[in-house]
Amino acid sequence: GKWKNKERVLIFSSRGINFRTRHLMQDLRTLMPHSKADTKMDRKDQLFVINEVCEMKNCNKCIFFEAKKKQDLYMWLSNTPQGPSAKFLVQNVHTLAELKMTGNCLRGSRPLLSFDPIFDREPHYALLKELFIQIFGTPQYHPKSQPFVDHVFTFTITDERIWFRNYQIIEEDASLVEIGPRFVLNLIKIFQGSFGGPTLYENPHYQSPNMHRRLLRLSVAAKFREKQQVKEVQKIKKKGTKVLVEEDPTEVVFETPAEEKPVEIQLVKPESKPIVKDKKKLRKIQRKKQKKLFRTEGS
């Protein structure tokens, strides 16, 4: 057959990404034979420059990983150059090398795309579904692809997030075994243009990583403040005047007075015992005296 669907995806990132993001990016390039690579983009460059890079690489789709503060990872999915584009916060990243899974698939094989039923109910999810199909779906008869379908890309919506999983299809019983990679996409905004433009949708449930870290710090500080207040209250209670309980007149009813013993006065001084420092010497002396007595009696 002829290669009609000319979808090409550019996958690259900005400078400052960590090793986990680099491995994830390489895994996506391995699983998507219709993808292309490029050098890392400088942080000072504006995002609309990516449209020119895609045009030079002859790509009409783009996956761009943006790193901030060396700990937060953002993913851009865009249809260049007209749009639309979506920005996600990437969480819980696990790569192929990290996950020790038994699944495996043929390199360059075409995947099946499985979507949650919620993608057909909400309009913004329907837009993302079409974007996922065009980006992650390997075109038929692509020169680098294989004419086999042996793995599934699943997109599931749970807790207002999109969970990506990759499973192998086992031929014997058609069961699924996870291959990897896996990650979670937290939608931030959907833009009309490519890497910018009017905002079509903004996620009301999204919480920025800076705000999340701030709330964690505030919760720890609140717990510490509460402990200090408890300690101060305990100190005040200890310093406070103790309430004296009135004497109960019935407490003495069952008390029996003890008999008075006569006082004995010792008039004679007690005999002083000889102070012997070494008891062994005393025993030797007593033995000698006894031997002398036996001798005198025997004579």
Q: What is the Cα–Cα distance from 77 to 80, expressed in whole angstroms?
A: 9
pLDDT given at position 277: 60
pLDDT digits (tens, 9 = 90+) for 252-272: 888 887 788 777 777 777 777
Q: Write b or e for each residue in 184-208: b if 16 or more Cβ atoms lie within 10 A of its Cβ, otherwise e.
A: bbbbbebbebbbeeeebbebeebee
Per-residue pLDDT tens over the stretch 180-204:
899 999 999 999 999 989 999 999 9
Give the pLDDT mean for 76-91. 92
Q: What is the pLDDT of residue 230?
A: 94
Report the pLDDT value the prediction gives residue 64, as an integer from 0 to 100: 95
Q: Which residues pair with 157 in a beta bridge?
A: 162
CA-closest candidate to residue 57, choices 76, 39, 83: 39
In the chain, domain spans = 9-210
118-122, 141-145, 270-274, range with the lowest pLDDT:
270-274
Average pLDDT over residues 5-21: 91
pLDDT interval class at 276 (50, 70, 90): low
| Mean local confidence (pLDDT), 43-65 | 91
The reported pLDDT for the residue numbered 242 is 67
Structure confidence by residue, pLDDT tens digits, 201-217: 999 999 999 999 999 99
CATH fold group of domain 9-210: Rossmann fold (3.40.50)
Residue appearing with tokens 């998507």: 32
Q: What are the tokens at 236? A: 């005040």
What confidence score (pLDDT) does residue 259 get?
Answer: 80
Q: What is the rounded CA–CA span in Å between residue 44 and residue 41?
A: 9
Q: Return the pLDDT at 274.
A: 67
